[in-house]
Every structure is written in structure tokens, then in C-alpha cells.
Structure 1
Amino acid sequence: MTAVETSLSELLNRPKATLATLRGAGRMVLRRQGAEDLMLTTAARAEQDHEVMGVISRMFVEMTRTPAGRNLVLDVLPTAFPWARYLPAHEVREFSGELVGALGAATELDNTAAVARLITEWRHTAEVHADPELYAALTTDSGEDFGSDALV
């Protein structure tokens, strides 16, 4: 189900009519000029999403407690994250372990920001591995010390 889109001013000017569309869709994106868009949802829908995220995260964490489960995660990771193909095998294993840990913690904290950050960081790592010139530039020790004085 896709979210209904409207402007924040529409909600403010016609609240009853605008909120009536939310009941049917379950989610509404409020477009704001010059500011980040907002997502409006019902409390029941938010609770449902939280419950589903929690179940999936707990299943994923429990699945990785067995060697077969860990191997399955390693098998599907490049499909879920196509850029992971550029990571060396040992980094794919490291990424999968960190991802499982972050998902478990996110469920407990009811906050997925750390998971999103982790995925972004690993995507950037894959970007470095995908570019041989960039990888060489970042991993070659030139012997120079670029400490805090280099930033001045």
C-alpha cells in the first residue's frame, strides 16, 4: 500500500477532508516547501509496523545463531545489498555480523538510525573497493603524516 501525498498547507486548511484520506491509505506524506517531508500514520499502523520489524529482526538474529543460518545470510546478502559484491569475503562476513547485531539492538531501542548508518558506512566501503584508483589512494602509505596540522 502506497502512502497518500499532500501538502502540509492542505492538511492545515482542510484537516477533516485530508485526514479522511489517511484512514483509507494508512500513511500520508506531507510535502513541505523548504523543509523535510513528514510521514503521518495512524497509531495502529505504527504499532503494526513496529511489531513486524521486531519479529523480523528477532527471527534474523536467531537464525544466525546456527552455522546454516549464518551461511544463508552470507548467501543472500549480495542479493539484498548488490554493492556487497565489491567487498572482500572477510568484510562481507563482518558486515553481516554487524548488521545482525545492529538489527537486534534497534529492535530493543525502537530506533533504526544506527542500522541505516551502518548500511551507509558499508556501502561507502564497497564504493572504495569498487574503484581501484580510490582504493590504492586510500590504502597506500605515502610515508607522510597528515595529522591535525594538515587541516590548517
Structure 2
Amino acid sequence: MAAPEVTFSELVNRPVDTVKKLHGARALQVRRRDGEDLVLSTASRAAEEAEVTSATTKLFVAMMQKDDRVRTLATEVLPTVFPWVRFLPKPDVQAFVVELMDVLEAAESLGNPAPVAHVIAMWKNTAGVYADPEVLAVLKKRGDDLGEVAAPDSTTA
């Protein structure tokens, strides 16, 4: 279910009434005209979500490390979770699973999901290259290596 929406102006001008809208809702989406939208939630809700995410990640990583069958199953169901992996060669799908597990574990230990989102985005971009025959052909084309690229001159920026 989508979070109820409020405007940033509503939050600023009527903060008590706006926060009351959290009652019975998981969060409020705060729409902004001049920047990225915000999500307003209670601290207890955020702590619960972090705990669930942490426990799920730890459980999944432990299962992957414990049993080859779990790794095989994860590789088989990956297209259900990330349909774009169908464009990746099979060895790359397996590499994605391994990297995803490694980064999930490391990111969980930091309490920071950003590295996981980055890994997923990079593999999705790679799948996008494989999905486009023209782009793939250009990138596979052998050519002369033009050598090291010089750093930009900071005085011209």
C-alpha cells in the first residue's frame, strides 16, 4: 500500500496536523517541488524495518554460505526477482549472485544499503548492454588502445 502523501508546505505550515496523519500509516511521503521527495516515519518504525532487513539479510547470506543447493536455487529464481538477468550470460548471473551476497553481508554490517543498490544498478546496466545488440557490438569491437587518459586541467573548469 502506498504511503499517504503530503506537501512539504503542509508539513511546515501545519506540522502537528500533518504528523497526526502518521497514525495508522507506515509513513508519509512528503512531496517537494524543489528537490527529492522525503519519507516521514516514526523512529520505532524505522528501527523495526532496519531490524527486519538485517535479520533477513543475515539469514539469506548464512543459507547461501552453508549449502550449494541454496546458491543454485537462488540463481534459478533470480529472474523472478530481477527479470533483466535473463539478458546476462549464465556465468555473469552466477557472478552477480556471488557479488550480491558479498555486498549484502558487508553493507548489512555497516547498516548502509547504498552499496547493495549500487551493485544491483551496475549489473542491471550490464544486462542492458547485453540486451542491445548494437551497443554490445560496439563494446566488443576490438580497437587500438589509446593509452592513459590525462586528468582534466583544473584551471579550465
**TM range, smaller chain:** over 0.9
Measure how far apart 1:128 and its partner are.
0.7
TM-score under structure 1 length normalisation: 0.93
User: How far apart, CA to CA, are the structure 2 residues paired with 1:138 and 1:146?
Assistant: 17
CA RMSD of aligned residues (A): 1.6
- List per-residue Cα deviations over 1:14-69 (Å, max 9, x = no partner): 11111111122120111111111111100110011001101110111011121111
Flag the 1:130–1:146 CA change in 2: closer, same or farther, 3 A: farther
- SS at 1:25 equivalent: coil
Question: Higher helix share goes to which structure?
Answer: 1
Aligned length: 151
Which residue number in structure 2 is paired with residue 46 of structure 1?
46
Which residue number in structure 2 is paired with residue 23 of structure 1?
23
Which residue number in structure 2 is paired with residue 99 of structure 1?
100
Measure how far apart 1:144 and its partner are.
4.7
User: How far apart, CA to CA, are the structure 2 residues paired with 1:144 and 1:51?
Assistant: 49
What residue ranges of structure 2 are gaps of 5+ in the alignment? none
Which residue number in structure 2 is paired with residue 124 of structure 1?
125
What residue ranges of structure 1 are gaps of 5+ in the alignment? none
User: How far apart, CA to CA, are the structure 2 residues paired with 1:83 and 1:108?
Assistant: 28
Q: Percent identity?
A: 42
User: How far apart, CA to CA, are the structure 1 residues paired with 2:62 and 2:4?
Assistant: 36
Asked if 2 retains the 8 angstrom alpha-carbon contact of 1:78 and 1:84, the reply is yes
Which residue number in structure 2 is paired with residue 83 of structure 1?
84
Which residue number in structure 2 is paired with residue 5 of structure 1?
5
